[in-house]
């Protein structure tokens, strides 16, 4: 009897990874009940950097779009939130959606111009557009005054869900705000990874990989390469915008130079992805942990810290171009988020039977 | 099936396709020969839409596709192989076919799994189904080019020097596969330097030199003609 052909993506590690992942998630969710406020703030930083890194990885690692202008979407997302809270009296938590929407609105003209450029020119182009966005926002005196702006105390005090967190955990209002921001960051990180993983496992994910490997050949087998680029760019902008809004919701204070910082929101993010492993979901997760460890260890050394980061980045690029996760998965064959489709059954099953 | 009318293409001052006119009826196999640099691959790129012609018209399956993108022409039924194999290196052989079949046929992955497996069977690539395309040998890469083009479900199949660089035995089995595909009614245009492989399949032969068509017709007659011997074989007659 002939067995039909079937496709599977499951690996032996992926089931274990799922259980392990859910346990870590449960632990992270419960963390505010038993860890210090300082640790919650650190975890918030790690999670938001992870979101930025996942989206940059989607752009560069899967879409081949090496952007150096992602700070534009962090900044615009943050200022959309401040603008709607300060001028429109919006609730800061709900305003996060506006952060995403504002980033999308900026992403359309950015893509329109930047997609005409390729490789290094695309990178420079996105950076220039981000600088232009920063200069324009800095002219918006009502919200983006020269030395910076704070979120109004009233808006923070009456923020959605804060009093509920306060009552449930029995903490003070300021701690409750940090915990709420942390939970939102956790939700955003989980949603980010879920959406990217879902995208990669869909028919579009396969098309994305084909475009990355060989654009001309991809077009010749019916892949709409242009549409794939737009899809990836808009998705990354939306997510980066929400992350930007959330980061500055937690900081409660903003200035154009900080919100549009190329070092904080793009250079560090590139470092995280490169050191962890470009083109994998696992890479940025590992990368952000390494980045945070280095930052905690070397923070006291000022400029030396930045030099150490740079050297570490160069060393990884030279000796492990696929990043730390690349090294690990090469040695062990481990894949926590498998996307490879393997053909089984049919004549393949028969030949296997003959071998055994 | 395919008609080219006065198609021309220049790169700067160099005219690589010069006023080319010919047609291929449905179900026919046409061979294209010509010396290196005659513009054979450029002609292919114009037919597939990887390049746009400067002037003239290209009609495929009753539709004017002169300004249609490569992606749309593939959806319409144009499948191609590349002279230098262009696999999606980081994907597996099966995934190479899967992306071609699901996008080229606008169908879900589940719908085309069986089709991909059948193409792998007939092109002899099934044992390599789950290997990375980047790890394949030259013969396997050539087969993958053919298999990926077949996966898109082409009405017109364009083969660019698919037999080049293969041993005699490898060439024989590849020709056999192509003959089978042709027997099923797929229209084929095939560029090839390995003439005995080409003439064992095609019904008509087209000779290209300096971007111009200098002869088209019955393979035996074309090979005998004086111009072809002079220009293509370089013989003084």
H helices, E strands: number in chain A: 18, 4
For residue A217, which residues of chain B lie inside 8 Å, CB to CB?
A: 82, 86-88
Nearest CA-CA partner of A44 in A236, A161, A180? A180
Distance from CA of A179 to the nearest CA of B (A): 42
Statement: residue A1 has pLDDT above 50: no
Cβ of B129 under 8 Å from any chain A Cβ? yes
Q: What average pLDDT score do residues A249-272 get?
A: 94
- CATH number of the domain that B26 lies in? 3.40.50.300
For residues A171 and A196, which has the higher predicted lDDT (pLDDT)?
A196
What is the DSSP secondary structure assignment for residue B39, as one 8-state letter? S
B212 touches chain A (CB under 8 A): no
Q: What are the structural domains, with CATH classification, of chain A?
A: 6-355 (1.10.3470)
Residue in A closest to B153 by C-alpha: A221
- Whether chain B has a CB inside 8 Å of the CB on A216: the answer is yes
| Residue B111 belongs to some domain of the structure | no
Chain A touched by B58 (CB under 8 Å): no
* Cβ distance of B88 and A217 shorter than 8 Å: yes
A203 touches chain B (CB under 8 A): yes
Smallest Cα distance from A155 to chain B, Å: 48
Q: Hey, are the CB atoms on B148 and A221 less than 8 Å from each other?
A: yes
Q: pLDDT tens-digit profile of A226-255?
A: 999 999 999 999 999 999 999 999 999 999
Q: Does the pLDDT value for residue A304 go beyond 90?
A: no
pLDDT at residue number B204: 95
Q: Does A10 touch chain B (CB under 8 A)?
A: no
Is B95 at the interface with chain A, CB within 8 A? Answer: yes
Q: Is residue A288 scored above 80 in pLDDT? A: yes
Nearest to B60, CA basis, from B133, B167, B144, B158? B158
- d(Cα B54, Cα B42) in Å, to the nearest integer? 12
Given this model, what pLDDT does residue B233 score? 62
* B88 vs A7, A214, A225: nearest CB: A214
pTM of the model: 0.90
Tell me if B63 is assigned to some domain: yes
- Rounded CA-CA distance A182/B219 in Å is 75
What is the arithmetic mean of pLDDT over A180-184?
96
Given a cut of 70, whether residue A104 has pLDDT beyond it is: yes
Q: Which residues of B touch A6 (CB under 8 A)?
A: 113
Question: Which pLDDT does position A309 carry in this prediction?
Answer: 87
Domain contains B83? no
Q: Are B219 and B202 in contact (CB under 8 A)?
A: yes
Residue B9 lies in a domain: yes
In a domain, B91, yes or no: no
Asked, for residue B99, whether it belongs to a domain, the answer is no
pLDDT at residue A34 tops 70: yes
| Contact check, Cβ <8 Å, A209/B99 | yes
Contacts of A216 in chain B (CB under 8 A): 50, 70, 86
User: If you write DSSP's letter for every residue of B96-126 in order, what string do you get?
Assistant: HHHHHHHHHTT--HHHHHHHHHHHHHHTT-G
Interatomic CA distance for residues A178 and A319, integer angstroms? 39
Asked whether residue B114 is domain-assigned, the answer is no
Confidence of residue A353 (pLDDT cuts 50, 70, 90): low
Percentage of chain A beyond pLDDT 70 is 97
Residue spans of chain B under pLDDT 70: 231-237
Stated as kind and residue range, the H or E segment containing B56 is strand B55-60
Contact A217 B152 (CB under 8 A): no
Chain A CA closest to residue B83 = A217
Q: Domain of B175?
A: 2-77+154-233
Q: Which of A7, A216, A351 sits opposite B113 (nearest CB)?
A: A7
Is B7 a member of any domain? yes
B96 contact residues in A (CB cutoff 8 A): 210
Number of domains in chain B: 1
Rounded mean pLDDT, A162-170: 88
Check if A147 contacts B (Cβ < 8 Å). no
For range A259-280, the mean pLDDT: 94
CB contact under 8 A, B69 and A219: yes
The pLDDT value recorded for residue A351 is 62
Q: For residue A306, what pLDDT is reported? A: 84
């Amino acid at each position: 009897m002939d067995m039909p052909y079937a496709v599977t993506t499951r690996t032996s590690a992926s089931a274990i990874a799922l259980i392990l992942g859910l346990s870590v998630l449960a632990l992270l969710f419960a963390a505010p009940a038993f860890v210090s406020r300082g640790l919650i703030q650190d975890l918030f930083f790690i999670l938001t950097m992870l979101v930025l890194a996942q989206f940059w990885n989607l752009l560069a690692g899967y879409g081949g779009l090496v952007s150096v202008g992602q700070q534009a979407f962090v900044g615009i997302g943050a200022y959309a939130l401040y603008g709607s809270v300060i001028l429109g009296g919006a609730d800061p938590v709900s305003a996060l959606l506006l952060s995403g929407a504002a980033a999308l609105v900026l992403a359309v003209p950015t893509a329109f111009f930047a997609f005409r450029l390729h490789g290094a020119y695309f990178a420079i182009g996105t950076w220039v557009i981000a600088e232009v966005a920063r200069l324009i926002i800095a002219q918006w005196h009502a919200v983006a005054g020269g030395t910076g702006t704070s979120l109004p105390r009233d808006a923070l005090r009456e923020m959605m869900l804060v009093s509920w967190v306060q009552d449930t955990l029995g903490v003070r209002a300021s701690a409750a705000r940090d915990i709420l921001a942390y939970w939102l960051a956790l939700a955003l990180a989980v949603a980010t990874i879920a959406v990217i993983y879902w995208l990669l496992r869909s028919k579009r994910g396969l098309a994305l990989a084909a475009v990355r490997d060989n654009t001309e050949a991809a077009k010749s087998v019916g892949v709409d390469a242009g549409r794939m680029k737009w899809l990836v760019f808009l998705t990354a902008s939306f997510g980066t915008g929400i992350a930007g809004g959330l980061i500055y919701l937690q900081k409660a204070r903003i200035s154009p130079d900080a919100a549009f910082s190329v070092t904080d929101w793009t250079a560090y993010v590139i470092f995280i992805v490169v050191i962890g492993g470009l083109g994998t979901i696992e890479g940025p997760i590992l990368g952000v942990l390494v980045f945070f460890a280095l930052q905690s260890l070397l923070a006291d050394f000022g400029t030396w810290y930045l030099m150490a980061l740079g050297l570490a980045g160069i060393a990884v690029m030279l000796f492990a171009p696929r990043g730390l996760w690349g090294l690990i998965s090469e040695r062990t064959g481990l894949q926590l988020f498998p996307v490879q489709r393997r053909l089984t059954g049919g004549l393949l099953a028969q030949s296997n039977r003959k071998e055994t | 099936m395919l008609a080219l009318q006065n198609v021309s293409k220049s790169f700067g001052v160099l005219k690589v396709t010069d006023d080319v006119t010919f047609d291929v009826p449905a179900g026919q196999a046409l061979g294209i020969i010509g010396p290196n640099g005659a513009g054979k691959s450029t002609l292919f790129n114009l037919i597939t839409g990887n390049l746009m012609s400067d002037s003239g018209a290209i009609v495929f399956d009753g539709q004017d596709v002169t300004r249609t993108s490569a992606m749309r022409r593939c959806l319409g039924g144009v499948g191609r192989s590349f002279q230098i194999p262009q696999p999606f290196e980081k994907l597996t052989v099966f995934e190479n076919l899967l992306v071609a079949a699901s996008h080229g046929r606008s169908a879900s992955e589940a719908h085309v799994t069986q089709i991909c497996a059948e193409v792998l069977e007939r092109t002899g690539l099934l044992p390599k189904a789950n290997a990375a395309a980047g790890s394949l040998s030259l013969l396997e890469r050539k087969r993958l080019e053919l298999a990926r083009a077949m996966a898109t479900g082409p009405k017109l199949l364009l083969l660019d020097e698919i037999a080049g660089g293969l041993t005699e035995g490898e060439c024989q089995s590849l020709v056999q596969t192509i003959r089978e595909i042709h027997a099923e009614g797929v229209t084929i245009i095939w560029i090839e330097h390995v003439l005995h492989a080409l003439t064992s399949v095609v019904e008509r032969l087209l000779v290209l030199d300096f971007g111009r068509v200098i002869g088209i017709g019955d393979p035996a007659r074309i090979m005998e003609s004086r111009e072809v011997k002079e220009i293509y074989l370089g013989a003084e007659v």
